[in-house]
Amino acid sequence: MGPPGQMEPDPGLALLELYDAALPQVYGYLLSRCGRRALAEDLTAETFLAAVEAVRKEAPPELSTAWLVGVARHKLADHWRRADREERLLRTVDEGRPDTDDPWEERLDALLAREVLKELPPGHRAALTLRYLDGLPVPHVAEHLGRTVHATEALLMRAKAAFRRAYDRQCPPGTPSAAPRAFSNDKTTSHTGSADAQGRPEPPGPHESPVDPREEGRDD
């Protein structure tokens, strides 16, 4: 509380002052991740509405552009989870077990990679985006997706395998058929077990919990 007679700063006014500077960054973040202008605009609006609700609370957060981008990240993850649930109501996809023995090459057409991401199911797209584009550690990805760490690691393996297959299909003639190493050379994917020489995770130790089979097949 400030000195007697001094008015407390209005967080609503602070948000208005931040709006012009933060809007391009929030919208740009969302557009770069989802690739659709209309969706990015909707999620940007949801982000600022959430910010308005937050500043009305008794203990409002400390406003910053980084905080708003964090809210936008949550909104995008929520959208992907909703979209994936809707998609699974329409069709059932059995992707099988991923082939994790394939090495991935260094070369990557960034534009092609983004096009491939758009084709993946929302659950796969969300996991890869949060983990590799946003650079979040696996536990944070799990928190965003509402999954356990073990289930998130399994989802990332399936998502990388699906990305590799889609990327290889779209490679122009004469281009080496390989998916980006950025999505495979992951030092933090396994938090509960090491990997063998071929990159396959070893079974969890005696004090570690295996992946719940009910969660392993979820891609939402």
Tell me the per-residue pLDDT of 11-29, one tens digit each, with 9 for 90 and over. 667 788 889 899 999 999 9
> What pLDDT is recorded for position 55?
84
Q: Which residue has the higher pLDDT, 78 or 92?
A: 78
Where in the chain do CATH 1.10.1740.10 domains reside? 11-92
| 175 CB-near residues (< 8 Å, 6+ apart) | 109
- Tell me, what's the pLDDT at 14? 77
Q: Are 212 and 151 a contacting pair, CB within 8 Å?
A: yes
Q: What is the pLDDT of residue 9?
A: 60
Mean pLDDT of the chain: 73
> Would the pLDDT of 192 be above 50?
no
Average pLDDT rounded to a whole number, residues 88-116 = 51
The predicted structure's pLDDT at residue 167? 84
Q: Could you tell me the pLDDT band of residue 117, with boundaries at 50, 70 and 90? A: confident
The answer to whether 191 and 201 are in contact (CB under 8 A) is no
Q: Which letter, b or e, does each residue of 116-150 get, where b requires 16 or more Cβ atoms within 10 Å of its Cβ?
A: bbeebbbbbbbbbbbbbbbebebebbbbbbebbbb
Q: What is the pLDDT of residue 160?
A: 92
Q: Tokens 């979820």 — which residue?
A: 218
Structural tokens at position 105:
């090459």
**pLDDT in the model for residue 169:** 83
Query: Residue 60 contacts by C-beta under 8 Å, 6 or more apart in sequence?
Result: 11, 54
Please, where in the chain does CATH 1.10.10.10 lie? 93-220
What pLDDT, on the 0 to 100 scale, is given for residue 97?
41
More confident residue, 149 or 189: 149
Sequence-distant contacts of 165-173: CB under 8 A, at least 24 apart? 166/116, 166/119, 166/120, 167/112, 167/113, 167/116, 170/112, 170/115, 170/116, 171/112
What band does 87 get if pLDDT is binned at 50, 70 and 90? low
Architecture of domain 11-92: Orthogonal Bundle (1.10)
Residue percentage of the chain with pLDDT more than 70: 60
User: What is the average pLDDT across 159-187?
Assistant: 69
Instruction: Note the pLDDT tens digit of each residue in 127-163.
Output: 988 888 888 899 999 999 999 999 999 999 999 999 9
Closest among 207, 177, 181 to 192, alpha carbons compared: 207
**What percentage of residues in the chain have a pLDDT greater than 90?**
29
Class of CATH domain 93-220 = mainly alpha
What pLDDT shows up at residue 150?
94
b vs e for 180-192, b when ≥16 Cβ sit within 10 Å of the residue's Cβ?
A: beebbebeebbeb
Q: What's the pLDDT tens digit per position in 22-55?
A: 999 999 999 998 888 999 999 999 999 999 888 8
Residue-wise pLDDT tens digits, 197-211: 334 444 444 333 444
- Widest distance between CA atoms in the chain: 74
Q: Tell me how far apart the alpha carbons of residues 30 and 51 are, in angstroms, rounded to a whole number.
A: 16
What integer pLDDT is reported at residue 110 of this predicted model? 62
